[in-house]
Structure 1
Amino acid sequence: MKKLLSIIVAISITCGSFAQMGKVTSALSFIEQGLLDKAKEALDQALVNEKSKDNPKTWVAKGKLAQECFRSENPKFKAFYKDPLKEAMEAYEKALELDQKGSVEKQLKLSNTYVLLGNDFITQGVQRFEAQDFAGALQSFESNIKLASSDLYIGVADTGIFFNAGLAAYNGKMFDKAIPYFQKCADLKYEGPMPYFLIYNSYKEMKDMAKAEATLIKTFEQYPDNQDVILNLIDFYMSNDKLSEAFSYLNMAKSKDPNNYTLFWAEGVLYMKQEKYDEAIASLKKSIELKADEYNTQFNLGVCFYNKAVAMFQKANEIMDVPQYNAAINEANGVFIQAIPYFETAATLKKDDPDSLRNLKELYFRLRTVKPEFQAKYDEVVKKLENM
């Protein structure tokens, strides 16, 4: 009788266990049919039952359900989990933790689960990036990277995901997090010098100019023939008033690309910084010869003539002899007049910019007694500025 009772109890326990695992089986069937609400209901019961909540199959089922909720177009199903892919990954990890026989590991490998989940994370990362949720996008791409490093991931990790993770961090102004991802890409020579540029810009945003400079120099060592690298070096040294270094790379760039108008513009600006106006004028005129419709070059050449004339006026004021003084003033006015056509051209190239018009207003007013026709031009410019 006791033996019979024991058998009955054992059968009852087994049947109870099967009954709860039947919920998991039902959930998996509902998932296949797209009935995710019924699958969720069945699985929720299995996850709280003592007989099934620690069974690895239950957690594998939850992972599958969470993935399908992410993929679903139905808002109701999407709302089942706050972050379905995170829930899916954690569910698979829980299943592996509970698995004593290694069957789950084999199942996940055979079904390519980690690769498919990784692809879902990429999709989620792109969606979040496009929605400007850069922190969320970074989390998604990092989850893909984590999965790709697992032994359960059948395939090769995509270097592009490291780049995407870096871009998400960069756009989210998490520059300290962006740099290691870009460095990984740079080490693998992914996207050429672009990762280096992003590292450089990250350090600039972090106000670490020493590391920014070091990054550009390293980039030049890796890509010595890349003109963009050289231009970035020139820009960096110009911006930081390291003119000697700027000229060094500028001459290098001109030897590789002698007809690049930008290089002559940059050379002119460097000479202007040194107040070498004649050299600056020659360089800027060469730039205009190569490309006449560039606003910055036309405007800077006008500024160059203007500044040269101001310096000449200052020297003229030191002359005590009246005839010599008058001659010096006339010469300076002649240089002021030379600035006018370049400001006029700049004003036509960029009609909504008031800077050229303000300079013209001052020059026309200053020179209206030298050339009476400038009075009418002065009146015209004043009206344009009033209407802006």
Structure 2
Amino acid sequence: MKKIFGYVAALCLLAPMSGWAQRTHVRAAERLLQAEKPNYSEIRRLLGLAEAHEETKADPYTYYIRGLVDHQLYKAEYRKLTTPGIPGDTATMFRHVVDELPAWLRADSLDQRPNAQGRVQPRFTKRIQDFLKEDAPKMYDAGLFYLDHKDYARASRAFDYALQAQRLLLPAGERVLKADSTTANLAYYALVSAYTGKLYPEVIRLGKEYRDLSTNQNEVYQFIARSHLAQQDTLGALPLLEEGARRFPKTTFFFGKLISIHQAQGNYKAAVALIDEAIKAAPTNPNLLVLRGNVYFMAQDWVHATEVYKQVLKLSPDNYDALFNLGQVYYNQAVSLLANPLATKLDEHKAKDYFRQSLPHLEAAYKRSPDQVRELLGNVYYRLGLEQRYAELHQEKQ
């Protein structure tokens, strides 16, 4: 009986002693950091043991020291780079200043938990903030460094961490970033880096958090919408496109994509209604009118398409889209008549007239974009019996 009791007592002592041992590992790691030449391999090994243990993996002290390791490595590299005659590595310096943040975010999160009495008494947040007052701007610099080297994943991460560092620097009880110039620029650079690198899931994640804090919001909304579309996520893109159309009515991208989606779904009335809403804000915008004509074109409503394209050409006589599309409208009407097996001589006469009407518009469009227009224009020349012009057109291609 005494043996059993002694065995149970030993088990009761084992768990708290084990946790105590892991905290000792963290303290040992901190002492090693203070050495003249710290053994970083041993420091990381000790911290790894602490992070793997049930008690110390939830202790902010563990992650405070983990962040302090990268902070110290960053400072060591920074001193080399700023001391004449001592070689240093800029990429290494920036890597460490960025890498310090995840551990410190974890430390701060654990530090904000209420104690047994329900009070929040952080032990490390103030120390972390003191370091970040100097280090947060360096994270911004790291992002610019990576962006300059076209390492878009690291650049986006650095800008994102710089934003999170700004949040961590806010007074106690505040964790919502304010839309100042620093935040706006960081948010924009984080998004533009991710988008340029085609990191579409990251663009979407960053967009949810920072799109309304960023500078250049018109462009940012386009980045996020395009990222959804790049992943074939029409449902996710729609709210961004609708909000972009509402906020930036003079930007045809949002309306254009919305219209394309409605067209693909065969919902032409909704597409026209969207354009009409945009035209209210910019009644003389030829690009919006072209979009309206394109909807009718897709619906094969040739009468309304012709009216709209002519309206565009009154406002902008050299508008390539209106010229080419109007030429296609006339061409399609002619071909439709001739494709009818019951076509009469009168239909053939009307078709030829449509070909004649398409000709000046296609010739004007050809001057702007020969490669795109050449084949259609050649067909019109052929249909009208203009062999010389047809031959000259194909000689130009050669």
TM-score (norm 1): 0.69
How do 1:168-207 and structure 2 match up within 5 A? Answer: 168-188=193-213, 190-207=215-232
1:143 partnered with 2:154:
no
Q: How far apart, CA to CA, are the structure 1 residues paired with 2:85 and 2:332?
A: 67
Q: How far apart, CA to CA, are the structure 2 residues paired with 1:152 and 1:186?
A: 20
1:44 partnered with 2:37:
yes
Structure 1 83/289 Cα, relative in aligned 2: closer, same or farther at 3 Å?
A: same
By how many angstroms is 1:160 displaced?
A: 2.8
Per-residue CA distance 1:96-138 (angstroms, 9 max, x = gap) = x9xxxx99987876xx642332222212212212322111112
Q: How far apart, CA to CA, are the structure 2 residues paired with 1:86 and 1:153?
A: 27
Overall identity of the aligned pairs, in %: 18
TM-score (norm 2): 0.68
Q: How far apart, CA to CA, are the structure 2 residues paired with 1:346 and 1:136?
A: 45
In structure 1, runs of 5+ residues without a counterpart are 1-20, 25-41, 320-324, 369-373
1:314 partnered with 2:339:
yes
Per-residue CA distance 1:13-56 (angstroms, 9 max, x = gap) = xxxxxxxx9x98xxxxxxxxxxxxxxxxx953687999xx99x9
Report if aligned partners of 2:153, 2:197 keep a CA contact under 8 Å in 1. Answer: yes
How do 1:1-388 and structure 2 match up within 5 A? Answer: 43-44=36-37, 62-69=73-80, 76-78=87-89, 83-88=92-97, 113-151=131-169, 158-188=183-213, 190-220=215-245, 223=247, 228=252, 229-238=254-263, 241-315=266-340, 317-319=341-343, 325-350=344-369, 353-368=370-385, 374-385=386-397, 387=398
Report if aligned partners of 1:67, 1:88 keep a CA contact under 8 Å in 2. Answer: no
Counterpart amino acid of residue 77 in structure 2: A
Report if aligned partners of 1:114, 1:147 keep a CA contact under 8 Å in 2. Answer: yes
Q: How far apart, CA to CA, are the structure 2 residues paired with 1:48 and 1:331?
A: 86
Structure 1 338/114 Cα, relative in aligned 2: closer, same or farther at 3 Å?
A: same
Structure 2 SS opposite 1:292: coil
Q: How far apart, CA to CA, are the structure 2 residues paired with 1:177 and 1:261?
A: 35
By how many angstroms is 1:225 displaced?
A: 5.4
By how many angstroms is 1:326 displaced?
A: 2.1
Q: How far apart, CA to CA, are the structure 2 residues paired with 1:71 and 1:140?
A: 22
Q: How far apart, CA to CA, are the structure 2 residues paired with 1:131 and 1:261?
A: 40
Counterpart amino acid of residue 65 in structure 1: A
By how many angstroms is 1:204 displaced?
A: 0.5
Per-residue CA distance 1:259-300 (angstroms, 9 max, x = gap) = 221222112211111112122111111111111112222111
By how many angstroms is 1:163 displaced?
A: 2.8
Structure 1 126/208 Cα, relative in aligned 2: closer, same or farther at 3 Å?
A: same
Structure 1 86/285 Cα, relative in aligned 2: closer, same or farther at 3 Å?
A: same
Q: How far apart, CA to CA, are the structure 1 residues paired with 2:169 and 2:356?
A: 75
By how many angstroms is 1:336 displaced?
A: 0.9
Report if aligned partners of 2:328, 2:358 keep a CA contact under 8 Å in 1. Answer: yes
Q: How far apart, CA to CA, are the structure 2 residues paired with 1:70 and 1:104?
A: 29
Report if aligned partners of 1:141, 1:161 keep a CA contact under 8 Å in 2. Answer: yes
Report if aligned partners of 1:66, 1:85 keep a CA contact under 8 Å in 2. Answer: no
Q: How far apart, CA to CA, are the structure 2 residues paired with 1:173 and 1:149?
A: 26
By how many angstroms is 1:257 displaced?
A: 2.2
Coordinate RMSD, CA, aligned: 3.9
Report if aligned partners of 1:201, 1:212 keep a CA contact under 8 Å in 2. Answer: yes
By how many angstroms is 1:153 displaced?
A: 9.2
By how many angstroms is 1:195 displaced?
A: 3.2
Structure 1 182/47 Cα, relative in aligned 2: closer, same or farther at 3 Å?
A: closer
Structure 1 SS opposite 2:87: helix
Counterpart amino acid of residue 125 in structure 1: G
Q: How far apart, CA to CA, are the structure 2 residues paired with 1:132 and 1:169?
A: 11
By how many angstroms is 1:339 displaced?
A: 1.0
Per-residue CA distance 1:328-359 (angstroms, 9 max, x = gap) = 21221111111111111111122xx3232222
The aligned length equals 321
Larger Rg: 1
Counterpart amino acid of residue 78 in structure 1: D
In structure 2, runs of 5+ residues without a counterpart are 1-30, 48-64, 108-121
